[in-house]
Structure formats: structure tokens, C-alpha cells
Structure 1
Amino acid sequence: MTASYDGSMTTDATGTAPDRRAVVDVHPAGDAAPELRDPSLPVLHIDDLAAVRGDGIFETFMVRDGEVRNLDRHAGRFTNSAGMLDLPAPDLDRWIAATDLALVRWAELGGGDASLRWMYSRGRESTGIPTGWVTVAPESPAVSRDRDNGVAVMTAHRGYSLDISRDAAPWALVGAKTLSYAANMAALRYARAHGLDDVIFTAADDGEGSDRVLEGPTSTVIAVRDRDGVREILTPLPEVGVLPGTTQAALFRSAGDAGWTCREAPLTVADLFDADGVWLLSSVRRYARVTALDGTPLGRPDCAAEIEELATRAAEGR
């Protein structure tokens, strides 16, 4: 059952207000305007295909100083993902209006750095009408901890070969940001159960003699070389099953302006060990330097402060 939201904060049985968050029903397929929902009440029907099959897409944005950052890049990827899943093309004006409504409510709740998410589902099995929500929630303490301390990472096979491509297997949805993140979350849980912080997915590549690097469960991988007159930032080729990163794309633009050579390349695990520094990039966390890879410590390079400033500027859309 859904309910419109009058702006008041519902309390639980103890009289305590729930976690600060804003929820907006986008109504992506109807004439109704986006509307606030009470975050303490359910909004998802039991037969919604987002829950039943993970059949939908999402985007996660950084909110800083009351504004969504890199909106155009995220909106472009959102539209591309919808096309790959044969979802109706999202009305971006409607989604942006819902975002504005959520941000107003977030400011009323006290504001601050946050994570804003667009979620777009194929809808209920019983109606076939797409559903969608915009949510805003506080930035997790783990986000700043990973930025400050870096992350110890393990490599893990993704479970498919590099022969998979969008043309060879379009149903694999290579390059779409879908709601089907169960395997990604399972990899993170496995790493944390073994005293690690994050994961870099790989795929076997017999021709290279070393596993090819793909991406993190919620991040894009970059490898930095800064020696012998070479200053370059590399990221894995998207053709091998890597979701194009919005923060990485913005970083390449700003780093290129700062004199770095930035390119996509068929990176291997051996290349990561040979790099001067490795980072995981994402919209809300911005960056997390890899401090150890498969148990081998990775030192902090002299260029680290510059790379992290560039990554911050990229994530913030500066």
C-alpha cells in the first residue's frame, strides 16, 4: 500500500524518527506528477519485477552542497541502460523534477552530503506499468573511511569469458546498470568476511598470460603510471564487460587538461602490480586508493594527492 507524504516525520513505536531519507514516486508511465512518499511506509508492491526478478535499472548520484553532481553523465547512462533492457525511454524532465522534489525534502531534513538514487523498474507483473523512485539518503560513514584510509582488495573471477560482448550476447546486458546486483554484493560480503574491503573483478585471458581486469562491484578501476617522463592514467576497456564510469569519464577530461595521458587499455592484474598507484572510482565515494592487492601492499605514490584532487573534482562535476 502506498501513501502520499504530507511532510511530517512518522515515528516508530518508541517515538524515534526513522533514518533521514527522502522518497519520491516518479510515476514514470503516468500523468500524475512526482510525489513525496513517507519513507517509513512501503512503496513497492510484492509483484513488482524490481523485487521479483531485479528487472530494472538504477543510477546513484552524489549530492553535495544541495546539488546533484554530474547529472548529465548519469542521465545519459540511465537512458542507455533503459534502451538495453527494452524499457520505455525515460522522460528525463520527469526524473529531474522528481529529483528536485527529493532535494527540497532533503534540505528540509537538514541536508548534507548524500547519495541520491534513481530506480526504474519494468513494473508490476499484474499491470505491466513501469514504476520508478528517487531516494536520498545520508552518505555512509564507510565512504569517508575508504577515502581516508584506502582499501585492501582481492581479485575475483567475474564468472564469464572475454568472448562475451554486446553483439555476441545482447541478453547479457554488458554495459547496462541493472538492479541485478546480487553477485556483486556477494563478492563484497565474501571479501569482508576475509578481512578485506573491496573486490576487483577479472576474467581469464589466456593470450595475455594474466587475468584481465574488469571493474569493482560498485566502482571503476584506474591504474596510474608516473615515472620516467610518463604520466598516464589507464582504465579497462569497456568492450570486455565494464560499465562505463561517470566519475572515470569526468576524471579523464580534467586529468587530460592537467597534462596526463588518459586512455582505455586491456589492463591485466600484472599491470596493476606494475602501476605506481591503483584507485577505485565511484560517484559517491569519489575515490579509494588500493593499499593492498591480493595480500601485496601497494605504496602511496608521489602523485596520489594530485590524482585524488582530480577525482574529487571529477565526482563533483568541477
Structure 2
Amino acid sequence: MTWHFALVIEPAASDSSQTVFADTFTVIDPAAPALSVGELSTQRGDGIFESVGVVDGHPQEVDAHLDRLAHSAKICDLPAPHREQWRQAVTTAAEHTPRRGEGVIKLILSRGVEHGPAPTAWVTSGSAPDFALARAHGVRVVTLDRGYGLDVPSRAPWLLLGAKTLSYAVNMAALREAKRRGADDAIFVTSDGFVLEAPTASLVLRVDGRFVTPAPNGGILHGTTQLSLFEHLEAQGLHTGYEVVPVSLMARADAAWLLSSVRLAAPITSIDGKDVPVDRELTASINEYLLSPRD
């Protein structure tokens, strides 16, 4: 991924009445050093982020991403982001993404520097990786035990499950383990046998004509792309649902997808070595929709 643009935000209080925030943005060289050695985002992964897909210069689902940024900030006891300030930062960054093709804007809010300025915030934009093969040919996945039961997020909120934090070491380790097992990606499952999500994506299953995703109450991120897809499917008269999904339900699916803001919809071709049917026509239609401008 090549970064073309970066700006640092001087975070405004969430209740600020300011309406124009250009003077709180400092454009920096995305290739130059920018963070203090005391920055807690790099020392401890103590912060949150969002990745906003961009299509032909249009940032996708900005409201949903700002909602989730605020949700993550609340879980992590970070100052609430000023919604309009971050929206204007996204608009500024979008002006520096390709006018044609796909890009990505990242929003980062960190606890800041220990005993120093806090919080710190910045936004970057650049070209997105090419996911054409994954969208067209699909991905093989394996299930990996996330190491906790379905009720743990409600019993132990200090684990920050359900927040999109910068602490992605476990997610990246899961992807490496999936590749060691001959797969492309992973699906996390609970130790008591329920489906969660992929390390960087939401899961959608089609079972008995219904589109189902695990309910976002077990430490699952509520996927912005999945939300948009469900609205699209419902507008076509199709049935969608949020459910507690046992691992056994995946064997009954006649199609399945991983959904994320940048990769979009990647059909799943196998789960733990067992083939999953691929609906190529529907997948192409879904990605056509996801590549259209969406607010």
C-alpha cells in the first residue's frame, strides 16, 4: 500500500461549537518521521482506527465509520472524537486519493504520548491493494479458536472486545497461522463453539435463502460493509438476520463471504478443507454494488 497524503489532527472537544476545522489540520510528509518515541500507539497499541474505502475519489460509508470510531473510543476510555472535525479530515484526505480506482483512508486516534500531549490523531490516504483475484476467485479459510467463550465480552469489558484497536498482533498472527495451514484467511470461533468474525473482515452466510451474520454482541465489530450490504439485500426483498451462529451452521451454508471496507466481498471457497459452493453471479453483483458511491 502506497501512502500519498497524511495530516495530523489537533483533536477538538466533542462538544466544541467550531464548524470549520482546517486550522486544526497539519499536513505532513507521509514518508517522513512523525511520531514521538513516547507515542503510546506504537509502544502499546493503545489507540483505535478505521479504514475507509475510497472508490473513484469517493469515501465510502463515512457515517458508519465515524459511528464505529466513536464506539471504539467509548470502549477504550478515549476522548469522544468530534464528528464534524473527523468528517472534514476525511474529505481533505479524499482529495488526495486517486480520482479513478480504489483507495483507502485511515483514521487513527491514539492515547498520545505518556506524560505528554494527549490524545494524538492523524489521517492518511493512499492507493488500495488490488483485491480483484480474491473477489473473483474467492478465499479458503480455516477456523481458529479465539480462546474465550461467547459470554466473555459482557463479563470482562476491560478486554476491549468489540473495539477496533491498534492492537492487531493477534489478528496478524491468525492470518499467518491460516497460511501455515494452506488457507488464505481465518474465521475466529469461540471456545464454546460459536462463530465470530475474520481477523479483518465480517462473515456472511447464506443458509436456506437467508443471509446471516453473527450478532455483534460477542466482541464482534459491527462491519460497515456488512451493514451496507444488508440494506442492499433487504431493498431487493431478501431476508437478512443477526444471529448467534453455531460453528455447525457453516456446514449448511450454500454460499459464504468475507466482507471488509477495502477487499469488499470475497467468496469463501472452502472452510477447514471442505468445499463451499460459490455463487459467482451474486458475488459479482454484490461487488458491483459495493463499488458504487455509498454514503
Shared fold by TM > 0.5?
Answer: yes
Q: CA deviation at 1:117?
A: 0.7
Secondary structure in 1 aligned to 2:95? helix
Q: Match of 1:118? A: 107
Write out aligned runs for 1:123-162 (5 A): 123-141=112-130, 143-162=131-150
* Structure 1 Cα separation of the partners of residues 122 and 222 of structure 2: 23
Distance 1:183 1:155, change over 3 A: same
Asked whether the 8 Å contact 2:257–2:268 carries over to 1, the reply is yes
Distance of 1:118 and 1:269 partners within structure 2 = 33
Percentage identity across paired residues of the two chains: 37
Deviation, structure 1 residue 105 = 2.8
SS of 2:65's partner is helix
Residue pair 1:286, 1:312 contacting (<8 A) in 2 also? no
Change (3 A) 1:77 1:315: farther
Structure 2 residue 228 is the aligned partner of structure 1 residue 239: no
CA deviation after TM superposition for structure 1 residue 111, in Å:
5.6
1: distance between equivalents of 2:86 and 2:165?
A: 17
Partner of 2:16: none
Q: Is the 8 A contact 1:177 1:243 kept in 2?
A: yes
Q: 2: distance between equivalents of 1:49 and 1:193?
A: 31
Output one character per residue of 1:12-46: Cα deviation in whole Å (capped at 9) or x when no partner. Answer: xxxxxx94521111222598521211112011111
Could you tell me which amino acid in structure 2 is paired with residue 132 of structure 1? Answer: A
What residue identity is the alignment partner of 1:261?
H
In the alignment, the residues of structure 2 paired with residue 283 and residue 68 of structure 1 have an alpha-carbon distance, to the nearest angstrom, of: 10
Q: Which amino acid aligns with 2:265?
A: Y
Report what 1:269 is aligned to: 247
Aligned residue identity for 2:250? L
Instruction: Report the 3-state secondary structure (helix = DSSP H, G, I; strand = E; otherwise coil) of the residue aligned with 1:242.
Output: coil
Relative to 1, partners in 2 of residues 1:33 and 1:171: Cα closer, same or farther, differing over 3 Å? same
On the 8 A contact 2:141/2:272 being kept in 1, the answer is yes
1:170 aligns with 2:157: yes
CA RMSD, Structure 1 to Structure 2 (Å): 2.0
Whether 1:180 and 2:162 are equivalent positions in the alignment is: no
Q: Say which structure, 1 or 2, has more relative contact order (CA 8 Å, 6+ apart).
A: 2
- Which of residues 281, 286, 295 in structure 2 aligns to 1:310? 286
1:295 is aligned to 2:273:
yes
Does 1:213 find its partner at 2:189?
no
Contact 1:29–1:131 (CA under 8 A) maintained in structure 2: no
Give the greater-gyration-radius structure (CA): 1
1:246-294 deviation line (CA, Å, top 9, x unaligned): 1111111111111211001121222111110111011111111110111
When residues 123 and 292 of structure 1 are mapped into structure 2, their CA distance, relative to the original with a 3 A threshold, is same
Runs of 5+ consecutive residues of structure 2 not aligned to the other structure: 14-20
Which residue of 2, 6, 9 maps to 1:26?
9
SS in 1 for 2:237: coil
Aligned residues: 286
* Structure 1 residue 311 displacement after superposition: 5.2
Deviates more, 1:215-224 or 1:290-299: 290-299
Residue identity matched to 2:173:
A
Find the counterpart in structure 2 of residue 6 from structure 1: none
Partner Cα distance (2:75, 2:164) in 1: 10
SS at match of 1:74: helix
Look up the SS of the partner of 1:129 in the other structure: coil
* Corresponding residue SS for 1:40: coil
Q: Distance in 2 between matches of 1:236 and 1:163?
A: 14
The residue type equivalent to 2:222 in the other structure is P
Asked whether the 8 Å contact 1:36–1:102 carries over to 2, the reply is no
Show the counterpart of 1:208. Answer: none
Provide structure 1 residue ranges, at least 5 long, that are not aligned to the other structure.
1-17, 206-210
Contact 2:212–2:243 (8 Å) recurs in 1? yes
Residue among 69, 72, 75 paired with 1:81: 72
Quote the Cα distance in structure 1 between the aligned partners of 2:200 and 2:268: 14
Report if aligned partners of 1:36, 1:101 keep a CA contact under 8 Å in 2: no
- TM normalised by structure 1 equals 0.84
Does the 8 Å contact 1:60/1:116 carry over to 2? yes
